[in-house]
Amino acid sequence: MSLVGRFDTPGSLRDVPAGSPLYDRWHATIGALIAPSTPLSGPGAYVDPSERDLDVTATRAYTWTGFSRPLLMKHRDDRDAAFAEGEDRSTQIEYLEWHVARDPSGVIVRVTFTTETPEYWKALAAVAPNRVVALYRELVDPAVRSKDLFKANGRYDPLNRWNTTHGIVHYIMPINSMRDLLGVSQEVERTGAALDGYGALPYGRETGADARINLDLWSINRKGYAVATADPPGPLIIDWDDSGWTDPAGEPVGDHWRVVRGVRGAALRVVYEVPPAAGYRVGDIRIGGRPIAFGGQLAEHVIMSAHGVIDRGAS
C-alpha cells in the first residue's frame, strides 16, 4: 500500500466541495509530475509516495529565502538596484511572487504574496470556473468578470490582468510552478560522482530554492534513503521575520501579516497591510532603519519551505 492514497490540494484547501472531480484531477496532475523512482546521487531514490509504501522515519523542511538570490548576486554592490529590478514579476523566481499596491502618492500600502501554482488554478478552472471567478473577486477585486479570466474558447487565462498588472492570485513566472518544484526535486546530481556537497560544486543554478532542494535531496540519496514529497506537495511560506521593522515613531511595528489562504507556518497567500487605525502605511515602515520602497524588501524576510518525508530503511 502506498504512503499517499490521493495527493491533497495545496494547503489542503477545499475550494470546491468534497466529491468534486477537482480532487482526482489534482492527484493525477501531481502523479504525472513524479516518476516512480529516480536515483539522484548515490544509492537512494526520489520516489512517488502514491506508488510506494514508505516507512517514514524522518521529515525534512527545505527552507529558502523569498527574494531572488540571482538579483542579489547580480547587484552585490547595490542592493537598491536589486530591489528595484525585483518589482518585475519576471524576476520573482524563488517560488514567491508578490504584487505591490501603492497609494496615489506612490507610497506602498499593501504587498500581497502568493505561493500558489498555475497548475492548481488551471485544474480548478477546468472543473469550477464560477468558483474561480468568485475567488478572484474575493482575493483581488469585486470588479473581476468572468470574461477577464477566461478566453473566448472558455480556457482559463493565467496571464489575465487580475493576476498580472492589477493583482495577484498565482505564479506567472514560467519557472515557478509545481512542475518545476517537483522537476528540480528529481534532478540528478550533475557530476554523478559527488561524495559531499563540495563535490557537487560548481552548482549551476543561481536560485536559493533550487540549490536548497537539490543539495538536500542529493545528500539524502547518498545515504541510500528513499525520499518523497510530503503530502500535500508544494511551496509554502513557513515564516517571516519582521524584527527590526519600525513604525514612523521608531517603535516595533505591529503584526500586520494576514494569512488569506493556508495557515501560519504553512501559508499560501499572505497580505501585508497596515490597518488604518495604526495611522501609517507600509511605505512608512523602516526595515533596519531603511524606508520600504519596494515589495522585495519585504520578500527578503519571507521564508519559504517545501516538505519531504524520508524512509531510512529502504531505497
Partner 1 sequence: MNSDAAIALAALAETQTALLSGVELPASSGDAAARLGRAAAETVGAEAVAAESGEVTGDQMPAGSGRTPQALADEPVYDADAAADIQGNIVPGFNKDHQHFLFLRFGSIDGAREWVGWLAPRITAMDEVLDFRREFRALRLRLGVREPGLSATWTAVAFSFPAIAALAGHTDARAFGEQSFRQGLAERSTYLGDPTDPDHRGHRANWVVGGPDNEADALVIVAADDPNDLDAMVDEILDHASAHGITLLFGQRGDTLPGNLQGHEHFGFKDGISQPGVRGRRATSPDDHLTPRFLDADDPHAELFAKPGQPLVWPGQFLLGELRQHHQDPTIPAAPASAFPDWARRGSYLVCRRLHQDVVGFWEMATAAAAAMGTTPVRLASMLVGRWPSGAPLMRSPDADDAALAGDEFANNHFLFDDETRPSALVDLPGYPGDTHRPATEDLLGKVCPFAAHIRKVNSRDSGTDFGAPADTFLRLMLRRGIPYGEPIAGIADPSPELETGERGLLFAAYMASIEDQFEFVTRRWANSPVQPNVGGVDPIIGQRDVRGDRRRTVDLPAADGSTTTIELQEDLVTPTGGGYFFAPPISALRGTLAAG
Give me the least distance between CB of 173 and partner 1, in Å please: 19
Give me the least distance between CB of 33 and partner 1, in Å please: 22
Give me the least distance between CB of 248 and partner 1, in Å please: 15
String of DSSP letters for 75-90: TTT-HHHHHHHTTSGG
| Complex with partner 1: residue 64 or 113, whichever CB lies closer | 64
Burial of 209 (0-12, 13-18, 19+ CB in 10 A): buried
Phi, psi of 85 (to 5 degrees): -70, -30
Give me the least distance between CB of 65 and partner 1, in Å please: 5
Give me the least distance between CB of 100 and partner 1, in Å please: 21
Q: How far apart are CA 72 and CA 81, in angstroms?
A: 9
Q: What is the DSSP letter of 279?
A: -
Q: How far apart are CA 50 and CA 105, in angstroms?
A: 52
Which residue type does 58 have?
A
Q: How far apart are CA 215 and CA 198, in angstroms?
A: 10
Q: Is residue 16 a contact partner of residue 131, using CB atoms and an 8 Å limit?
A: yes
Give me the least distance between CB of 230 and partner 1, in Å please: 13
- Residues forming contacts to partner 1 in the complex (CB under 8 A) are 58, 60-61, 63-65, 69, 73, 76-79, 195-204, 206, 208, 211-212, 214-216, 219-220, 222-223, 238-239, 241-244, 246, 251-255, 287-290, 303, 305, 310
For strands 45-47 and 226-229, give the pairing. parallel
| Complex with partner 1: residue 15 or 180, whichever CB lies closer | 180
Burial of 75 (0-12, 13-18, 19+ CB in 10 A): middle
What is the C-alpha end-to-end distance of the chain, expressed in Å?
Answer: 16
Give me the least distance between CB of 289 and partner 1, in Å please: 4
Give me the least distance between CB of 305 and partner 1, in Å please: 7
Angle 112-118-124 from CA coordinates, rounded to 5°: 105
Q: Which residue has the cell 502568493?
A: 114
Residues 6+ apart with CB under 8 A from 144: 133, 136, 137, 162
Q: How far apart are CA 88 and CA 299, in angstroms?
A: 13
| Complex with partner 1: residue 80 or 103, whichever CB lies closer | 80
Q: How far apart are CA 122 and CA 152, in angstroms?
A: 16
Give me the least distance between CB of 113 and partner 1, in Å please: 16
